[in-house]
């Protein structure tokens, strides 16, 4: 019988997802012992329990309901093809799943792969990509060190996870096609009880506040009063900027929030409009 008063979250025990997954939980104010040598840990201040697993196993555990939710790469979630919900993208562990071939070969297009052999740990994603493009090729499924397959004569090409491309290069390969862009996601069981759903909502609310905080900066600046109108129009802000008078009666201090994406453009425009003494401060959490 599952305990409906607690949400079970599966995270990778050790690997490229672990550190960012743990920090996200900690920044959400959830306290627990993150000694990943253990298999399980329970939070001291939030109704959540952690299972530390290999990432490949997480979609199965979530689909079976052993875990309620999990954090994995989209690549793994998709490859496993389980009936699970994609609940939220998390913005870390970004990578792509790509096709790569020996670097000395001139690549003229997807036809290169027709009748060839490709080594991969992602037979399902690769298979459907090839099918969609009308390419017939032998897929050799191997679970690791895929990039050495061409040099040992196991396959003509590989389909593997790439981030900088340096592993491919050092194995004499070059990336020629991108099949999928991936990042860490929260996946969930499709039959969560109402109680578990409401714990999940609380968790997501916290995670979103942390994410918004990271994507925004608090900005303070001084402006001569005769320039205030123009400066205010340049500031997006949460509602409208805060204006505080300075001791010098002709000047004011303006406070607002700027999104990371438009940050430098806004700063340049503000300076052009006469703003001075601009301070930019990180935001820990943001609740709208």
Which of the listed partners (Mg ion, ligand ATP, none) does 197 bind, with a CB threshold of 5 to 8 Å by partner kind?
none
**Residues 111-150, mask of contacts with ligand ATP (x by CB under 6 A):** ----------------------------------------
Query: Which stretch in 87-95, 215-223, 238-246, 276-284 sits in contact with ligand ATP by CB under 6 A?
Result: 87-95
Residue 160 sits in the site that holds ligand ATP (CB under 6 A): no
Q: How many residues bind ligand ATP (CB under 6 A)?
A: 16
- Assess 15 for contact with ligand ATP (CB under 6 A): yes
161 contacts which partner out of Mg ion, ligand ATP, none, CB within 5 to 8 A by kind?
A: ligand ATP
76 touches ligand ATP by CB under 6 A = yes
From 71-79, 80-88, 185-193, 231-239, span contacting ligand ATP (CB under 6 A): 71-79
Q: Could you say whether residue 79 binds Mg ion (CB under 5 A)?
A: no
Out of Mg ion, ligand ATP, none, what residue 75 binds, judged by CB under 5 to 8 A for its kind, is ligand ATP
Question: Is the CB of 11 or the CB of 267 nearer to ligand ATP?
Answer: 11
Task: List binders of Mg ion among 50-69 (CB under 5 A).
Answer: 55-56
- Exactly one of 73, 188, 213, 241 binds ligand ATP (CB under 6 A); that residue is 73
In the complex, minimum distance from the CB of residue 143 to ligand ATP, in angstroms, rounded to a whole number: 9
DSSP per-residue string spanning the chain: ---TTSEEEEEESSSTTHHHHHHHHHHTT------TTSSEEE-SSSSEEEEEE-GGGHHHHHHHTSSSEEEEEHHHHHHHT-S-EEEEE-S-S-EEEEEEEETTSPP--GGGGTT-EEEES-HHHHHHHHHHTT---EEEE-SS-GGGTTTTTS-SEEEEEESSSHHHHHTTEEEEEEEEEE-EEEEE-TT--HHHHHHHHHHHHHHHHHHHHHTEEEEEEEEEGGGHHHHHHH---SSS-EEEE-SSTTEEEEEEEEEGGGHHHHHHHHHHTT-EEEEEEE-S----
| Region from 73-81, 122-130, 197-205, 218-226 binding ligand ATP, contact rule CB under 6 A | 73-81
CA distance linking residue 81 with residue 200, whole number of Å: 23
Neighbouring residues of 70: CB distance < 8 A, sequence distance ≥ 6 = 9, 10, 11, 58, 59, 61, 62, 186, 187, 188
Nearest distance, CB of residue 167 and ligand ATP, angstroms: 8
Structure tokens at 49: 């329990």
Binding flag, residue 12, ligand ATP (CB under 6 A): yes
Which residue of 10, 28, 50, 55 would you call a contact of ligand ATP, by CB under 6 A? Answer: 55
Give the interface with ligand ATP as residue ranges (CB under 6 A). 12, 15-17, 54-56, 73, 75-76, 93-95, 161, 163, 182
């Amino acid at each position: 019988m599952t305990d409906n008063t607690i949400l079970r979250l599966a995270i990778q025990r050790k690997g490229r997802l672990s550190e960012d997954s743990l920090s996200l939980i900690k920044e959400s104010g959830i306290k627990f012992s993150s000694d990943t040598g253990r298999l399980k840990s329970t939070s001291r201040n939030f109704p959540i329990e952690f299972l530390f697993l290999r990432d490949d196993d997480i979609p199965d555990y979530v689909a079976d309901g052993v875990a309620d939710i999990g954090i994995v790469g989209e690549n793994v979630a998709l490859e496993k093809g389980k009936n699970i919900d994609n609940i939220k993208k998390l913005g870390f562990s970004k990578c792509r799943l790509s096709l790569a071939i020996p670097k000395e070969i001139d690549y003229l297009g997807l036809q290169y792969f027709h009748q060839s052999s490709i080594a991969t740990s992602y037979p399902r994603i690769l298979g459907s990509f090839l099918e969609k493009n009308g390419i017939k090729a032998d897929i050799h499924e191997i679970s690791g060190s895929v990039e050495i397959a061409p040099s040992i004569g196991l396959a003509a090409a590989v389909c593997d996870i790439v981030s900088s491309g340096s592993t491919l290069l050092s194995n004499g390969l070059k990336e020629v096609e991108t099949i999928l862009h991936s990042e860490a996601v929260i996946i969930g069981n499709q039959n969560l009880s109402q109680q578990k759903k409401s714990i999940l909502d609380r968790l997501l609310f916290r995670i979103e506040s942390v994410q918004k905080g990271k994507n925004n900066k608090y900005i303070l600046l001084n402006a001569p009063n005769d320039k205030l109108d123009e400066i205010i129009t340049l500031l997006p802000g949460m509602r409208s900027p805060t204006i505080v008078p300075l001791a010098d009666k002709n000047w004011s201090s303006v406070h607002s929030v700027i999104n990371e994406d438009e940050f430098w453009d806004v700063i340049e425009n503000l300076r052009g409009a006469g703003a001075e003494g601009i301070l930019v401060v990180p935001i820990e959490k943001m609740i709208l």
